[in-house]
Structure 1
Amino acid sequence: MDFWMTIRVLLKRWYIALPVFAVSLGLAVAVFLSVSPQYESTGTIVLTAPSSGAKVAVGEAKPAEKINPLLAFDGSLTTSAQIVIETLKDPATQKQFETIDGAPAAYEAGNGQLNGPFIVVVATAASPASAKKAATSVLDLARKELAARQQALQAPESTYIRADSVVMPADGKVKIGGKVRYAAVALVLGLVAGLTAAYGFESYKNYKKTHPGKEKAAKADKQEPAPKQPEAPKAVKQPEPSWPKAAEPSPKSDETTRILTPVAKPTPSPRTRDSR
């Protein structure tokens, strides 16, 4: 798609692109305001070796040296810091800090891209105080984990690696990166919708110019009513003739006639007499 062609279409169909752009801008603002803010607090500690070194003499008659295994190799402090960081990244450990003061929280642990035995914890929560509390709690857990590992290795207490604070967690600062990302996504989707609407309308207008006959035919088909089918002739029902009903004789008159009327005897004919 040519850039200048896009600009030309947008300028030509500004009455479509401009309202869509305004709606997109309003949608982005609404998304930015609707997303709840998150607060972030950061704390950093550094691991240090004791001034007495990694070894200590044990016994009086034949003193023997006892060493801290975590300080027995080069880069031991950095390695120990990495061990603690991996422990903090364990999902089971992170699950302990899913909620702080009844609100959802989360944290990330690492070295902060710093060279050396640093442990950096970045905690996120719904309020500044909760973010600070989460970061402080995770750093305290890191110190406990470091001491527990040295105790499990039976290292002399005087050779324990210490965790000194570099940056103390403070009240969380508002984190607007997530809100900006959501608003940017809404704005981009709105701009895409505006371009689609402008190009779609432009394509429709061009189609009407290049195919005027089809549109007229379609309008004519809509305006002309469909021819009516001839109706089949309906059968006319002839009225039945009404014949006068004969008078029905009453039962009493019939009986009287039968009683009073004598029965006439048949008279023989002359031929019958002659034959006899």
Structure 2
Amino acid sequence: MDVWRITLAALRRWYVLLPLLAVTGVMAIGAGNRVAPEYEGQAGAMITPERIQGEVANPYGSITNANEALGIVLNSVDSRRTIMEQGLSASYEIGVASRSTILQVSVRADSPEVAIATGQAVLDLAAQELATRQTDAALPAEAQYTLAVLDPPAVTAIVDTGSVRVQAVVGVLGAGVSLLVAVLFDDIVGLWKRARARGSRRSAKRARDEKEAASDTAAAVAEPAEPSTDAVDDPVSATEEPEAPRSRDLPRRRSEPAPAGPRGPNGNKHSDHTGLTTASPSINSALINTNEWVWPGDQSLEEAIAAEEEPRRRRNPFFDPEFTKRQLEKKSKRKDAPEPAEDVESTSGTTTSSGAAQRP
């Protein structure tokens, strides 16, 4: 099913689609309200240089290298696991600028208290990391880098992206299911209507047949068959055989010769297909090869000639149909002409001589 048919089905079943879409909207709003918003907190700190020059080199090198190394350590999996073990949120990000001593902490949690506590725990973990690594290098406290809090953790925004995401998912799924239900309902209704129309046609046909059968039965009962009086009044006609049809009135096969018939209007012997004995074989083929049987009166000789002329005219533009017609008429007249007088006299003389010879 293409998009156009789905659209037409949805428009036809709008009374099914619209309530389902309304239910989907209510469900999406309810699902979004059940999702708790997230609270975003921000905190800032700076790494301060040592107060005195130590005798041992600092393991971090420069103060900017210490800031970059601290950002890598705080973003590691171990640091996040440590924060989660304290029951806080692991959804935090450490922002460190290149060649800078500023450290930015961004936290996202389900409640403002958790967001603030997570930010403070991250700053404490950063200070501990600085002190532990420098102490292990045998640097005195005055010669170590320290962490100074510039912006204490605080909630800066309430984020509703989770609820919006849930509403979008519920809305898309609900709209798809609603459209599917509307299209299926349209298909079911169409099948039911077609089955009902088919049953109605069968019932109407059955009723019509029963009515016709009842009318035929009533007519047979109301008008009984009367005996024929022809056999009683004319006993001779009952034994007579019907007159056999003439051979020229019956159809013939194309392989059989045409019987004799009445003369046509032009003096020809035949005026229908039975006169094809005077025509050329090509005209006979044009007329009777299209069927096994040839019926009298189907086509006149002039129509047969016209039918034969058409393909010849297309093949040969110099073909003269009038000349062919005259030749056919001459041939027909020669075949219909009486026998010569000499043959008649010789025949009569032979008869006379034979008769005289028989006389005593």
Aligned partner (choices 179, 182, 203) of residue 198 of structure 1: 182
Residue pair 1:129, 1:172 contacting (<8 A) in 2 also: no
Q: Name the one with the larger strand percent.
A: 1
2:29/2:167 contact within 8 Å kept: yes
CA contact (8 A) 1:50 1:160 kept: yes
- What is aligned with 1:207? 191
Partner of 2:147: 163
1:177 aligned to 2:161?
A: yes
Shift of 1:75: 3.5
**TM-score where L is the length of structure 1:** 0.60
1:148 to 2:132 alignment: yes
Distance verdict in 2 for CA 1:142–1:75, change over 3 Å: closer
Cα pair distance change 1:113/1:148, threshold 3 Å: closer
Q: Which has the higher contact order (CA 8 A, sep 6+)?
A: 1
Aligned residues: 199
Instruction: Give distance in 1, aligned partners of 2:67 and 2:79.
Output: 19
Q: Which amino acid in structure 2 is aligned with residue 70 of structure 1?
A: Y
Secondary structure of the 2:25 match is: helix
User: Which residue in the other structure is 1:94 paired with?
Assistant: 83
Aligned residue in 2 for 1:71: 61
Alpha-carbon distance in 2 for matches of 1:77, 1:43? 15
User: C-alpha separation between the residues in 1 aligned to 2:75 and 2:56?
Assistant: 27
- 2:84·2:90 contact (CA, 8 Å) conserved in 1? no
Structure 1 residue 8 displacement after superposition: 3.3
Question: 2-side partners of 1:162 and 1:2: how far apart?
Answer: 69
- Alpha-carbon distance change, 16 to 8 in structure 1, aligned in 2, over 3 angstroms: same
Q: Which residue matches 1:122?
A: 107
Deviations 1:65-87 (A, max 9, x none): 32111116983431233124327
CA drift of 1:191 comes to 0.7
1:66 aligns to what SS in structure 2? coil
Question: Deviation at 1:215?
Answer: 7.7
Q: Compared with structure 1, are the counterparts of its residues 160 and 84 closer, same or farther at alpha carbon in structure 2 (3 Å cutoff)?
A: farther
TM-score of the aligned structures, taking structure 2 as reference length: 0.47
Cα distance change of structure 1 residues 3 and 146 upon mapping to structure 2, 3 Å threshold: farther
**Alpha-carbon deviations, 1:133-175, whole Å to 9, x = none?**
3322332232122212221222232332222334321136322
Query: Matches of residues 242-253 of structure 1 in structure 2 within 5 Å?
Result: none
Deviation at 1:26, TM superposition (A): 0.4
CA RMSD of aligned residues (A): 3.3
Tell whether the 8 Å contact from 2:58 to 2:134 is kept in structure 1 after alignment: yes
Q: Is the Cα–Cα contact under 8 Å of residues 24 and 190 in structure 1 kept in the other structure?
A: yes
Please say if 1:133 is aligned against 2:122.
no
Residue type matched to 1:120 in 2?
A: V
Q: Does structure 2 retain, via aligned residues, the 8 Å contact 1:66–1:156?
A: no
Cα drift, residue 27 of structure 1: 0.4
Indicate the structure (1 or 2) with the bigger Cα radius of gyration. 2
Q: Which has the higher helix share?
A: 2
- Percent identity reads 26
1:17 match: 17
- CA distance 1:21–1:151, change in 2 (3 Å): same
- In structure 2, the residue matched to 1:112 is 95
Equivalent residue for 1:225? Answer: none
Identify if the C-alpha distance between structure 1 residues 147 and 109 changes in structure 2 by more than 3 Å, giving closer, same or farther.
farther
8 Å contact 2:70–2:126 — kept in the other structure?
Answer: no
